[in-house]
Amino acid sequence: MAKTVKKSKKTRKIVQKWQAHIQASFNNTIVTITDEKGNTLTWCSGWAAGFKGARESTPYAAQMIAEDAGARVIVLHSMESVDVYIKWIGVWREQAVRGLISAGLNLDTIFDVTPIPHNGCKKKKTRRL
């Protein structure tokens, strides 16, 4: 006989610090909202917001993605302020931040956590004839 598994209801978390991680690549934008330990509360991407193909990588899509993620967190966890961590070099990073503001969130700090190589890759050997 198969065992039945009960799904737990979504509960409100009481968290002091909230973090919004924006990953803006050239092909898509992903917004993840976490608590201070890094546990994901909600996320949204271009596909989840209803954009397909090349439309996922537009500034308008980045703004809508951030608004959607911000609205979900406000409803579920009554969040007010957030720290923002931006990663990668997509040109629509600013639009995603504006989307969080228009969703009704107060931004405490904005960090740029784009990985930068300290020394880079090893150079290719010179060709000998």
Percent of the chain with pLDDT over 70: 88
Confidence category of residue 56, pLDDT binned at 50, 70, 90: confident
Question: 44-48, 70-74, 82-86 — which one is most confidently predicted on average?
Answer: 82-86
Q: Is the pTM of this model over 0.75?
A: yes
Instruction: Indicate whether 104 pLDDT > 70.
Output: yes
| Contact indicator for 61, 51 with CB cutoff of 8 Å | yes
Q: Please, is 41 exposed, middle or buried when counting C-beta atoms within 10 Å of its C-beta (0-12, 13-18, 19+)?
A: buried
> Going from the N-terminus, what domains does the chain have, and what CATH number goes with each?
18-112 (3.30.420.80)
Average pLDDT of every residue of the chain = 84
* Cα distance between residue 28 and residue 16, in whole Å: 30
Q: Report the pLDDT averaged over residues 7-34.
A: 80
Q: Report the pLDDT averaged over residues 103-107.
A: 88
Instruction: Indicate whether 89 pLDDT > 70.
Output: yes
> Across the beta sheet with 18-24, what order do the strands follow?
40-45, 29-35, 18-24, 81-87, 106-112
* Cα distance between residue 88 and residue 85, in whole Å: 10
Q: Report the pLDDT averaged over residues 112-118.
A: 87
Per-residue pLDDT at 111: 92
